[in-house]
Amino acid sequence: MADVISKRARNLDPSVTLSLTAKAKELKAKGENVVGLTAGEPDFDTPDVIKEGAIEAIRRGETKYTPAEGIAPLRKAVAEAYSKRLGVSYTASEIVISHGAKHSIYNALFALMDPGDEVLILSPYWTSYPDMVKILGGKPRIVELTKKTDFKLTTEIFRKQLSRKKKPKALLFNSPSNPAGIVYRKEEIEAIAKIVLESGIALISDEIYEYLTYSGSEHYSPVSLLPQVKDQTVVITGVSKSYAMTGWRVGFAMAEKDVAYRMAAFQAHATGCPNSVSQWAALEALQNGADDRERMRGEFEKRKELFGKRLARIPSIWYPEPGGAFYYLVDVSKLYKKCNAKNSFEFCDKLLAEQGLVVIPGGAFGCDKMIRFSFAASENDINRALDRFENFARKYSS
Ligand code: PMP
Ligand code: GLU
């Protein structure tokens, strides 16, 4: 066969989070005794009120192309809701609706960086960030964060990165974070926003988990704490996690109007527009979904507590306490030698082979000593998964 694949495509592998999620579902469908705590995806069904909004939209015939940047009522509703929530003023011309927050981030990167530009990515990072930058010809500059700073970007680390000869074009920031569930405190975000403002670089603030915070943690957006940084910042959010709408694919971006214009221009050529029916469903979520959103958040909080209690009795592991999102990122490296795993991928292969448990290797997030569990699962699945993990850890602990 002729060798037609581009060099660029050859270097791109599928998303580990999505492929392992598909693998767990496939094994279960085959009737295998497998538990998967893989994708960051609420197990709840989309609330009925949202589904009804979508059904009505179909009946009204809202089944055609929409403007590339999204339907006017949704852009207006996002502008109004987030102006209120963030305490800064957004107009509809600063809002771009996209095919999931993933695509919003991709559009933002397109609008903010050129090939060769560097983008600061904080490790542990969400698996798609470095690939998105690379696809666009940019260079991910991975900033490794450790236990020492609670996996947070400090002002010292940030300033050091900015003092290097090549200035990064943007910082990709995510709080609450995937995969570690880190929630930055108010004053920490304020300090980072100040440095962004001084330095003139762009900030992409991925706030997709904004509503999922627990145990007293609170979400803050850099633009609310330092409104002057608004024009340098693209705030990303959406309905996937907060309203159990992952498969509907609707993300929101808030950006300075020229940046928003370019993001929409890119989207116009890349996908045409986001799905029409899903946009109407997202509008319903914004207008009438708050009770369901809070109910689901409360359930996640209970599951997080259950998960934490079960993890606390397992030997030879360590993990940062998550304040948000729905993940536990667990250091299992003390078990590697005894179970004969060279890295997190081999460790996860063994967990699956021996215990029928599928989780995500930390290597996919730039932290090869760790594995990621999602607690967006039923209590029953959490208990079954942790029975298996505990068996495994006890077997290989010294
Ligand atoms: N950012 C982070 C940190 C995520 O974990 C996800 C998960 N999918 C996304 C963005 C993308 O969300 P969406 O499903 O809306 O594309
Ligand atoms: N963001 C989720 C995760 O990390 C969903 C899968 C994906 O899009 O990566 O599991």
- Among the listed residues 51, 13, 65, the one whose alpha carbon sits nearest the alpha carbon of residue 271: 65
Q: Is 121 in the pocket of ligand 1 (CB under 6 A)?
A: no
Q: Where are the alpha helices (DSSP H) in 200-343?
A: 222-225, 257-270, 276-288, 290-312
Q: Is 397 in the pocket of ligand 2 (CB under 6 A)?
A: no
Through-space distance between the first and last CA atoms of the chain, rounded to whole angstroms: 52
Give the pLDDT band (50/70/90) at residue 1: low
Give the pLDDT band (50/70/90) at residue 381: very high
Give the pLDDT band (50/70/90) at residue 133: very high
Segment among 26-30, 153-157, 363-367 with least mean pLDDT: 26-30
- Among the listed residues 139, 64, 132, 70, the one whose alpha carbon sits nearest the alpha carbon of residue 103: 132
Quick one: pLDDT at residue 163? 97
- Residues paired with 254 in a beta bridge: 95, 235
Domains and CATH numbers, the chain: 7-46+291-396 (3.90.1150.10), 64-288 (3.40.640.10)
Quick one: pLDDT at residue 8? 87
Q: Please list the helix, strand and coil fractions of the chain in percent, rounded to the nearest 5, in that order.
A: 50, 15, 35
Give the pLDDT band (50/70/90) at residue 352: very high
- Cα of 101 vs centre of ligand 1, distance in Å, is 5
- Cα of 14 vs centre of ligand 2, distance in Å, is 12
Main-chain phi, psi angles of 390, to 5 degrees: -65, -45
CB 335 within 8 A of CB 371: no
Q: Residue 106 above 90 pLDDT? A: yes
CA distance 335 to 332: 6
Per-residue model confidence as pLDDT tens digits over 139-180: 999 999 999 999 999 999 999 999 999 999 999 999 999 999
Q: What is the mean pLDDT of residues 79-86?
A: 98
Atom of ligand 2 nearest to the CA of 18: 6
- Residues paired with 371 in a beta bridge: 330, 361
- Cα of 68 vs centre of ligand 2, distance in Å, is 25
Residue in the structure block whose two tokens are 């500059």: 141
- Residues paired with 328 in a beta bridge: 373
Counts for the chain of helices (H) and strands (E), in that order? 14, 12
Q: Residue 27 above 70 pLDDT? A: yes
- Cα of 39 vs centre of ligand 2, distance in Å, is 5
- Starting from the CA of residue 21, give the closest ligand: 2
- Cα of 76 vs centre of ligand 2, distance in Å, is 28
CB 88 within 8 A of CB 223: yes
Atom of ligand 2 nearest to the CA of 178: 4
Q: Is 278 in the pocket of ligand 1 (CB under 6 A)?
A: no
Q: Is 100 in the pocket of ligand 1 (CB under 6 A)?
A: yes
DSSP annotation of 377 reads: S
- Starting from the CA of residue 251, give the closest ligand: 1
Atom of ligand 2 nearest to the CA of 100: 8
Q: Is 100 in the pocket of ligand 2 (CB under 6 A)?
A: no
Atom of ligand 2 nearest to the CA of 208: 1
CA distance 137 to 96: 23
Tokens, residue 190? 């304020």
- Cα of 59 vs centre of ligand 1, distance in Å, is 30
CB 350 within 8 A of CB 361: no
CB 243 within 8 A of CB 292: yes
- Among the listed residues 6, 11, 270, the one whose alpha carbon sits nearest the alpha carbon of residue 134: 11
Q: Residue 183 above 80 pLDDT? A: yes
Atom of ligand 2 nearest to the CA of 246: 5
CA distance to 144, 355, 358, 397, per residue, from 340 (Å):
26, 15, 18, 12
Per-residue model confidence as pLDDT tens digits over 44-66: 999 999 999 999 999 999 999 99
Atom of ligand 1 nearest to the CA of 238: 15
Q: Residue 210 above 70 pLDDT? A: yes
Q: Residue 26 above 80 pLDDT? A: yes
Q: Is 287 in the pocket of ligand 2 (CB under 6 A)?
A: no
Q: What is the mean pLDDT of residues 71-83?
A: 98
- Cα of 127 vs centre of ligand 2, distance in Å, is 8
Per-residue model confidence as pLDDT tens digits over 290-325: 999 999 999 999 999 999 999 999 999 999 999 999
Sheet strands (E) in 124-238: 139-144, 170-174, 202-206, 233-238
Q: Is 360 in the pocket of ligand 1 (CB under 6 A)?
A: no
Q: Residue 2 above 80 pLDDT? A: no
Exposed, middle or buried: residue 310 (CB in 10 Å: 0-12, 13-18, 19+)?
A: middle
Q: Are strands 357-358 and 139-144 parallel, antiparallel or unpaired?
A: unpaired
CB 254 within 8 A of CB 82: yes
Q: Residue 14 above 90 pLDDT? A: no
> Does residue 124 have a cis bond before it (omega within 30 degrees)?
yes
227 CB neighbour count, 10 Å cutoff: 14
What three-state secondary structure class fits 184? coil
